[in-house]
């Protein structure tokens, strides 16, 4: 192919990110960059207590303060029937507290003033009298029948939210009864928070003259937010325009609807002026969508050689005060039942019980793929426990138990149909590339000298691309996604998608997909996302669903355009449609390759010279309802050295071999992997949000809740295998969350491997140096 033609086949190439020039130069347009004429500012009054009755709320002093236009209390919202709002999980949540507060930093009142400073100063003047109640912070204690009932609004008089299970209980029990080997491990995945650089915020702009509300918001799912807003407020959906401008990091934190959003909208409706609300860092960490907090127990039944038979998992999930986990409706524990992972278990039984506690709500965030993070961490950790028990090398054990490539499509015991994979190939590449045998030799030598070196493996399976509408919906709305492509007469393209990126590079990768389908250059294709007035309906970007859903829509929409283009080509080439061939860049008449027309020629003709009877123009919309999810996988290996004096763990090497099917843009996939590994590293070694017994949040800022700097972060090595998805239009699987899903287990397995000579079998995250130091002391290493 000539060079110019190579450029017109951009799929699979590391095309530079089109969005970077504006991001790198500080020219992104984020929510706080939006300034409208007459705009007011809102600040929220929050509860200092985790659990308390509200005796009274007196806004009078705040109303007297300079610049203050309005104070909204829970009682004001109750009068409008807005004191509570539905959550995506089918629960309800207080917008502003009435009666009692259920977590520290809960929203109690909103103060709106001419400036942000005035609003914040006046918020201090709202007089709230509380009567403190005992707090329940531990989800296991919360499920005790004697625990105080937190949610007095519910009929059910307990803190139990839901029981959910998957798999065959009887068949699993049977295999456990007769199994030669059973291992059991308690594993906690701590409460963490994605802590995006840009916190949440919005500008609500209600125009009474037109009755239209324009709501600028840091949203990963603008259409879903518009529909929810319409259902809650009663405003007609076409009179609401949701615009999600550049999003400064989402990571699942920008999927839920937060009380501050509703208050800003109510304030704009009441005052007829735009109202801006931007969270502080502390507000973001303490009150918005956290992640994980799963207390899990796993048991594996196996043969003596480590061949697995059955997996049994029991989990207590801490959801905080309201169940606002943004899972698909039918999945209260997300996709956690993928917990059998990459291994061919005959049977499995998985249970999850949700509990209310006096903490902020959430649970679905931080590159979690709807709880696959918890599942992958658990199974990868426990496979190592099994390996140690049966005395088999953890790489070898995994190979014995892998689902083999001939078994795909693979039916898992908890009901998933894995689309494709080649686990052994991926692990082999990783072992070879890291020099596994050499490393084990080095480790043996070091162990003989009393040094602590560890090697940790994680061979995870992901499940992304929610999803097929027969199973996946949020609040009843089916989870397909969409693309719309418009070719202008000069052959330039405007394409809009129903998803909304937050830094993942869609402006480049979706342009690549469409350019590839149309034989154009990526430069010719402009991607727009995030405006509900213009983009086709779609459920947004999270759970690594954009490529599996909207990516499929983009490719099929391009093919729809090409179908029409072919008809125009036949007219221009004066050849029968059956004699017109597409070579990826242009159409020509069969046997006459010199006579050809490009998509640019056809675009012009679509507006100037269509065949008689054909509708002019060249545009199409495609709603893609995927037949299945996609199942990316990976083999990650961490090598660590532990300093016996300080307990500090040094990650000497980390190799991630990912398989996300066909790759659209290798550089962008590497970037996604680097970012997710950095987050997985932070979770393994430095992040946790603890609470004291009164429910005080002990890490609501970046002094106590740590985010890794470039100095902390290890060097990442990456590689890839390619097992295309058989059902996706371009064979791609999602990848955005894989590194966070797969890496924590590799880090922890490496640390446990280093400490194994001391008899250590498990250590819960986060692995702070002091924790390791204490383990060393307990085992007599440090006195
Ligand atoms: N890609 C590709 N080839 C593939 C798969 C993906 O080139 N085979 C590209 C995609 O086209 C896209 C990117 O990689 O540009 C990620 O694609 P995908 O895996 O489909 O994930 P999404 O676009 O749906 O992104 C969501 C995912 C999630 S859920 C979280 S959380 C997360 C993540 O992306 N949040 C992020 N990565 C993030 N990256 C940034 N910079 N900021 C966030 O907030
Ligand atoms: Cu679960 S974090 Mo991402 O799905 O936005």
Nearest to 520 by CA among 558, 483, 546: 558
Question: What is 34-133+198-248+254-287's CATH number, 3.30.470.20, 3.90.1170.50, 3.20.20.30, 3.40.50.300?
Answer: 3.90.1170.50
Q: How far are the Cα atoms of 228, 230, 737, 745 from residue 539, in angstroms, in the given order?
A: 12, 15, 18, 30
pLDDT digits (tens, 9 = 90+) for 724-764: 999 999 999 999 999 999 999 999 999 999 999 999 999 99
Could you read off the pLDDT of 581-592 as tens digits, one per residue?
999 999 999 988
What are the pLDDT digits (tens) for 138-189?
Answer: 999 999 999 999 999 999 999 999 999 999 999 999 999 999 999 999 999 9
Helix (H) or strand (E) holding 24: helix 20-24
State the average pLDDT over residues 332-357: 98
Atom in ligand 2 nearest the alpha carbon of residue 367: 2
Q: Contact, 505 vs 17, CB < 8 A? A: yes
Helices (H) and strands (E) in the chain, counts: 20, 33
pLDDT at 594: 87
CB 579 within 8 A of CB 538: no
- Counting ligand 2 atoms within 8 A of each CB, the residue from 247, 542, 676 with the most, and so the one to mutate, is 542
pLDDT tens figures, 256-266: 999 999 999 99
Q: What is the mean pLDDT of the chain?
A: 97
Reference 496, options 548, 531, 543; nearest CA is 531
Dihedral sign of CA atoms 531, 465, 296, 167 in order:
positive
- pLDDT for 768-779, tens place per residue? 999 999 999 999
The token pair at 676 is: 């997710």
**Same CATH fold assignment for domains 3-27+481-624 and 290-465+628-778:** yes
* pLDDT the model gives residue 55: 97
Answer yes or no: is pLDDT of 2 > 50.
Answer: no
SS3 of 54, please? Answer: strand
Per the DSSP assignment, residues forming a β-bridge with 352 are: 164, 315
C-alpha span between 44 and 142 (Å, rounded): 29
Any idea where the domains of the chain sit in the sequence?
A: 3-27+481-624, 34-133+198-248+254-287, 290-465+628-778
Please indicate whether residue 596, judged by its CB atom, sits closer than 6 Å to ligand 1: no
Mean pLDDT of 110-121: 98
pLDDT at 117 (0 to 100): 98
**Rounded to the nearest whole angstrom, what is the distance from the C-alpha of residue 219 to the centroid of ligand 2?**
12
Percent of the chain exceeding pLDDT 70 equals 99
Distance CA(679)–CA(278), nearest Å, equals 24
Q: Could you tell me which CATH number the domain at 290-465+628-778 has?
A: 3.30.365.10
- The answer, yes or no, to whether any atom of ligand 1 lies below 6 A from the CB of 665, is yes
pLDDT in tens, 493-504: 999 999 999 999
Q: What is the pLDDT of residue 5?
A: 63
593-622: pLDDT as tens digits? 889 999 999 999 999 999 999 999 999 999
Q: Are 59 and 109 in contact (CB under 8 A)?
A: yes
Residue 273 scores a pLDDT above 60: yes
Q: What DSSP assignment string belongs to 555-583?
A: HHHHHHHHHHHHHHHHHHHT--GGGEEE-
| CA 371 to ligand 2 center in whole angstroms | 9
Contact yes or no for 218/201 (Cβ under 8 A) = yes
Cα 106 to ligand 2 centre (Å) = 23
Read off the pLDDT band of 6 (50, 70, 90): low
Instruction: Pick the range with the lowest mean pLDDT from 123-132, 371-380, 586-595, 700-709.
Output: 586-595
The pLDDT value recorded for residue 626 is 98
Q: What is the pLDDT of residues 641-696, one digit of tens each?
A: 999 999 999 999 999 999 999 999 999 999 999 999 999 999 999 999 999 999 99
Which ligand 1 atom lies nearest to the CA of residue 509?
11
Q: What is the mean pLDDT of residues 340-353?
A: 98
- Cβ atoms of 633 and 343 within 8 Å: the answer is no
> Does 197 score more than 60 pLDDT?
yes
**Phi (first) and psi of residue 411, to 5 degrees:** -95, 115
- The atom of ligand 1 lying closest to the CA of 632 is 8
At 102-114, the pLDDT tens digits run 999 999 999 999 9
Q: What is the SS3 assignment for 401?
A: helix
Q: Is 737 an active-site residue? A: yes
**Alpha carbon distance 560, 489 (integer Å):** 18
Assign 518 to helix, strand or coil: helix
First-to-last alpha carbon distance for the chain, in angstroms, is 70
Closest ligand 2 atom number to CA of residue 250 = 5
Reported as a pLDDT band with limits 50, 70 and 90, residue 1 is very low
> What is the Rg, in whole angstroms, of the alpha carbon atoms belonging to the chain?
28
pLDDT at 3 over 80: no
For the segment 199-227, the average pLDDT, to the nearest whole number, is 97
For residue range 13-23, what is the model confidence (pLDDT) as tens digits?
999 999 999 99
Kindly indicate whether the domain formed by 3-27+481-624 is annotated with CATH number 3.30.365.10. yes
* pLDDT number for residue 467: 87
Establish whether 411 is a catalytic residue. Answer: no
Rounded CA gap, 359 and 357, in Å?
A: 6
Closest Cα to residue 343, out of 386, 374, 314? 386
Q: How far apart are CA 753 and CA 460, in angstroms?
A: 18
Q: What is the DSSP letter of 407?
A: G
List residues near ligand 2 (CB under 6 A). 220, 250-252, 255, 364-368, 542-543
Going from the Cα of 448 to the center of ligand 2, the distance in angstroms, rounded, reads 44
| Ligand nearest to the backbone CA of 503 | 1
The answer to whether the Cα torsion of 525, 531, 535, 536 is positive or negative is positive
Indicate the helix (H) or strand (E) that contains 424. helix 423-434
């Amino acid at each position: 192919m000539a060079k110019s033609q190579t450029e017109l086949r951009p799929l699979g190439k590391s095309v530079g990110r089109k969005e970077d020039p504006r991001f790198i130069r500080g020219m992104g347009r984020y929510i706080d960059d939006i300034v409208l004429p007459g705009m007011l500012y809102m600040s929220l009054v929050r509860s200092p207590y985790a659990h308390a009755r509200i005796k009274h709320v007196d806004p009078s002093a705040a109303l007297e303060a300079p610049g203050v236009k309005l104070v909204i209390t829970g009682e004001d919202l109750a009068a409008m029937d807005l004191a509570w709002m539905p959550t995506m999980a089918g629960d309800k949540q207080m917008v502003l507290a009435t009666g009692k507060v259920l977590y520290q930093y809960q929203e109690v009142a909103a103060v709106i003033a001419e400036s942000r400073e005035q609003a914040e100063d006046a918020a201090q003047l709202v007089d709230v009298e509380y009567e403190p109640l005992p707090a329940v912070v531990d989800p296991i204690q919360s499920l005790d029948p004697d625990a105080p009932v937190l949610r007095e609004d519910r009929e059910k008089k307990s803190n139990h939210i839901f029981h959910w299970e998957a798999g065959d209980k009887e068949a699993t029990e049977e295999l456990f009864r007769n199994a030669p080997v059973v291992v059991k491990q308690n594993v906690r995945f701590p409460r963490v928070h994605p802590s995006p650089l840009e916190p949440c915020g919005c500008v609500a702009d209600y125009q009474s003259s037109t009755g239209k509300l324009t709501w600028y918001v840091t949203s990963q799912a603008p259409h879903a937010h518009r529909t929810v807003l319409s259902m809650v407020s009663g405003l007609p959906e076409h009179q609401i325009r949701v615009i999600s401008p550049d999003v400064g990091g989402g990571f699942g934190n920008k999927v839920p609807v937060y009380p501050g959003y509703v208050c800003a909208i109510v304030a704009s409706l009441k005052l007829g002026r735009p109202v801006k609300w931007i969270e502080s860092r502390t507000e973001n960490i303490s009150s918005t969508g956290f992640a994980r907090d799963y207390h899990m127990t796993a048991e594996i039944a196996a043969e003596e050689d480590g061949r697995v038979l059955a997996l049994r998992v029991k989990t207590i999930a801490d959801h905080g005060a309201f169940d606002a986990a943004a899972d698909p409706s039918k999945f209260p524990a997300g996709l956690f039942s993928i917990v059998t992972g990459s291994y061919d278990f005959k049977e499995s039984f998985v249970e999850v019980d949700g509990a209310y506690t006096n903490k902020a709500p959430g649970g679905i965030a931080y590159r979690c793929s709807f709880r696959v993070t918890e599942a992958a961490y658990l199974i990868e950790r426990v496979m190592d426990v099994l390996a140690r028990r049966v005395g088999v090398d953890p790489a070898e054990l995994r190979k014995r138990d892998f689902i083999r490539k001939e078994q795909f499509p693979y039916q898992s015991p908890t009901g998933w149909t894995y689309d494709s994979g080649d686990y052994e190939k991926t692990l082999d590449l990783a072992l070879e590339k890291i020099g596994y045998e050499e490393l084990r030799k080095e480790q043996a030598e070091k162990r003989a000298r009393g040094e602590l070196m560890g090697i940790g493996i994680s061979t995870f399976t992901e499940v992304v691309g929610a999803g097929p509408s027969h199973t996946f919906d949020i609040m009843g709305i089916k989870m397909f996604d969409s693309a719309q492509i418009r070719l202008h007469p000069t052959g330039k393209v405007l394409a809009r998608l129903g998803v909304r990126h937050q830094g993942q590079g869609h402006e480049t990768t979706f342009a690549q997909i469409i350019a590839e389908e149309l034989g154009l250059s990526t430069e010719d294709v402009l991607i727009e996302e995030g405006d509900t007035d213009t983009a086709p309906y779609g459920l947004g970007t999270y759970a690594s669903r954009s490529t599996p859903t909207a990516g499929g829509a983009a490719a099929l929409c391009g093919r729809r355009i090409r179908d029409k283009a072919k008809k125009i080509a036949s007219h221009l080439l004066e050849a029968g449609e059956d004699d017109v061939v597409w070579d990826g860049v242009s159409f020509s008449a069969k046997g006459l390759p010199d006579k050809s027309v490009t998509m640019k020629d056809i675009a012009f003709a679509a507006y100037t010279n269509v065949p008689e009877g054909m509708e002019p123009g060249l545009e199409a919309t495609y709603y893609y309802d995927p037949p299945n999810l996609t199942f990316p996988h990976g083999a990650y290996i961490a090598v660590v050295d532990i300093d016996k004096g300080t307990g500090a763990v040094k990650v000497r090497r980390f190799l991630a071999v990912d398989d996300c099917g066909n790759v659209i843009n290798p550089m962008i996939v590497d970037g996604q992997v680097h970012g997710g590994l950095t987050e997985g590293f932070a979770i393994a070694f430095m992040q946790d949000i603890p609470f004291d017994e009164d429910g005080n949040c002990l890490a609501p800022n970046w002094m106590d809740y740590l985010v890794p700097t470039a100095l902390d972060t290890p060097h990442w090595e990456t590689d890839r295998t390619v097992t295309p998805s058989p059902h996706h239009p371009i064979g791609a699987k999602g990848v955005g969350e894989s590194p966070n899903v797969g890496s924590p287990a590799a880090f922890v397995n490496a640390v446990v491997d280093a400490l194994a000579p001391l008899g250590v079998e498990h250590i819960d995250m986060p692995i702070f140096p002091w924790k390791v130091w204490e383990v060393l002391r307990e085992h007599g290493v440090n006195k």
